[in-house]
Amino acid sequence: MKIGIDKMAFATTDEYIDLRELARERGDEPDKYTIGIGQDRQAVVPPTQDIVTLGATAAKKLLSEDDKKHLSTVIVATESGIDNSKASAIYIKHLLELDDFTRAVELKEACYSATAGIQFAKGLVAMNPQSTVLVIAADIARYGLKTPGEVTQGAGAVAMLISADPHILALEDTTVSYTKDVMDFWRPLYATEAHVDGKYSTNVYIDFFLQCWQRYQQMTGRQLDDFAALTFHLPFTKMGKKALEALLKDNQSPVANKLREQLTASQKYCREVGNLYTGSLYLGVMSLLQNGQVNPGDRIGLFSYGSGAEGEFYSGILQPHFEKYLSDVKDDLANRHQVSIAEYEKQFNSQLGMNPDDVELDWQSDPAPFILKGQKEHKRIYQEKK
């Protein structure tokens, strides 16, 4: 039985900054950001958006009324959760008006956990092929103003429906996970911004990719020419390039150059939005499918990485008419508006974060379908704008 990704949809905020402007403001060369890091724009998060609103917006785009009837489980993968106890999946389940006889849970392992969610979902569908699972990867990447990580922030959510006989990507059985206790990036309970050992984290990422790839090759006997494309977790687009080049080295064969071209296609959306943490790999897959040279029957490789650290390499086969089952990301990105660096800094400092007070946010001007209205008696208040 084929099991895999049946539909995919993306959501981000409607505001962004131009990273050339940020570079000038921070006293850096714009080329460092656009070429050295490989990012052009970055999503700005108004205080009325968080992982619940972004996740619900992405999921609403793909769920038909018929889909809702088959849904057994909602899994939200995130490392920017809004509560240390209650799962964000429950808020999203409520906002989407899903049946009460639905399981809802949140998963955490840095940027990796959406992949765990997909693998767990595959198991649930195998047990009951009539049922489907909604996996939502939603995050807000926050490093702090004027830090080296600032240029690698971003925000958004990718929702994926996992089912039997999927329309987009049928997952193959071989998958390699690799885990070690590493302090490359973490966020203590008392912090709203990540702690990171930046250069070290890029080296750990590359090491985990090579470990997973070598084991996958030993297990399957597959070579580079068995793949139409390799996709990567993209904390910033240069990271994917570093990983692919660590594998290809000076290989200039047609196969290697094709993989380089496909990587560029998979990086297009990340350049515009920034790091989505758990969702980055999957936005990269959407970017490849909407901008790359891919056809039904092609094998796609996926490398997932989460600091701390865990990596996984797995693969899937593209299905006929896959392009019909993806939301229109280009349209979303074209409809955003640019804000100044001063406005971005103001919004960065206006998040609810650790503030325990009652807060009423100015939510009327936020055009998103789901908004965070504020907080009362330590409870976040969400609403769908109808």
196 contacts ligand CAA (rule: CB under 6 A): yes
Q: Give buried/exposed letters for 112-130 (b at 16+ CB in 10 A, else e).
A: bbbbbbbbbbbebbeeeee
Q: Which is nearer to ligand CAA, 279 or 374 (CB)?
A: 279
Given candidates 4, 81, 235, 301, which one binds ligand CAA under the rule CB under 6 A?
235
Given candidates 57, 201, 267, 347, which one binds ligand CAA under the rule CB under 6 A?
201
Task: Quickly count: other Cβ atoms within 10 Å of residue 253's Cβ.
Answer: 11
Cis-peptide into 334, omega within 30 deg: no
Kindly list the distances between the CA atom of residue 191 and the CA atoms of 98, 175, 300, in Å, as whole numbers in the listed order.
33, 34, 37
305 contacts ligand CAA (rule: CB under 6 A): yes
Q: Is 79 a catalytic residue?
A: yes
The sign of the dihedral angle between the CA atoms of 303, 51, 292, 294 is positive
Residues 91-120 close enough to bind ligand CAA by CB under 6 A: 110-111
Q: Which is nearer to ligand CAA, 88 or 307 (CB)?
A: 307
199 contacts ligand CAA (rule: CB under 6 A): yes
**Of 186, 284, 195, nearest in space to 234 by CA:** 284
Supply the minimum distance, in Å, between the C-beta of residue 278 and ligand CAA.
Answer: 9
31 contacts ligand CAA (rule: CB under 6 A): yes
304 contacts ligand CAA (rule: CB under 6 A): no
Question: Which residue among 111, 212, 272, 312 is the active-site one?
Answer: 111
Give the range of 34-42, 101-109, 208-216, 360-368 binding ligand CAA by CB under 6 A.
Answer: 34-42
- Is the CB of residue 152 less than 8 Å from the CB of residue 111? no
Given candidates 10, 120, 185, 227, which one binds ligand CAA under the rule CB under 6 A?
185
Supply the minimum distance, in Å, between the C-beta of residue 140 and ligand CAA.
Answer: 12
180 contacts ligand CAA (rule: CB under 6 A): no
> What does DSSP say about strands 41-44 and 3-11: parallel, antiparallel, or unpaired?
unpaired
Supply the minimum distance, in Å, between the C-beta of residue 236 and ligand CAA.
Answer: 6
Given candidates 36, 210, 217, 299, which one binds ligand CAA under the rule CB under 6 A?
36
**Of 275, 285, 276, 277, nearest in space to 315 by CA:** 285
What is d(CA 36, CA 18) in angstroms, rounded to the nearest whole number?
A: 16
Question: Which residue among 106, 167, 233, 270 is the active-site one?
Answer: 233
Task: Quickly count: other Cβ atoms within 10 Å of residue 357's Cβ.
Answer: 8
239 contacts ligand CAA (rule: CB under 6 A): yes
The sign of the dihedral angle between the CA atoms of 168, 169, 170, 171 is negative
Order of strands, sheet of 15-18, starting from the edge strand that comes earlier in the sequence: 41-44, 15-18, 337-338
Count of chain residues binding ligand CAA (CB under 6 A): 29
Supply the minimum distance, in Å, between the C-beta of residue 365 and ligand CAA.
Answer: 30
Q: Which is nearer to ligand CAA, 10 or 112 (CB)?
A: 112
43 contacts ligand CAA (rule: CB under 6 A): no
Kindly list the distances between the CA atom of residue 84 and the CA atoms of 108, 194, 296, 351, 377, in Å, as whole numbers in the listed order.
11, 16, 42, 17, 16
**Of 158, 157, 153, nearest in space to 192 by CA:** 153
Given candidates 216, 277, 344, 363, which one binds ligand CAA under the rule CB under 6 A?
277
Q: Is 233 a catalytic residue?
A: yes
What is d(CA 236, CA 177) in angstroms, rounded to the nearest whole number?
A: 22
Q: Which is nearer to ligand CAA, 151 or 289 (CB)?
A: 151
Residue 152 CA to its chain's centroid (Å)? 13
The binding track of 122-161 with respect to ligand CAA, each residue x by CB under 6 A or -, is: --------------------------xx-xx---------
For 350, which DSSP code? Answer: T
Question: Which residue among 15, 79, 150, 312 is the active-site one?
Answer: 79
Give the range of 3-11, 28-36, 159-167, 370-378 binding ligand CAA by CB under 6 A.
Answer: 28-36
Q: Which residues bind ligand CAA (CB under 6 A)?
A: 29, 31-32, 35-37, 110-111, 148-149, 151-152, 184-185, 196, 198-199, 201-202, 205, 233, 235-236, 238-239, 275, 277, 305, 307
**Residues classed as catalytic:** 79, 111, 233
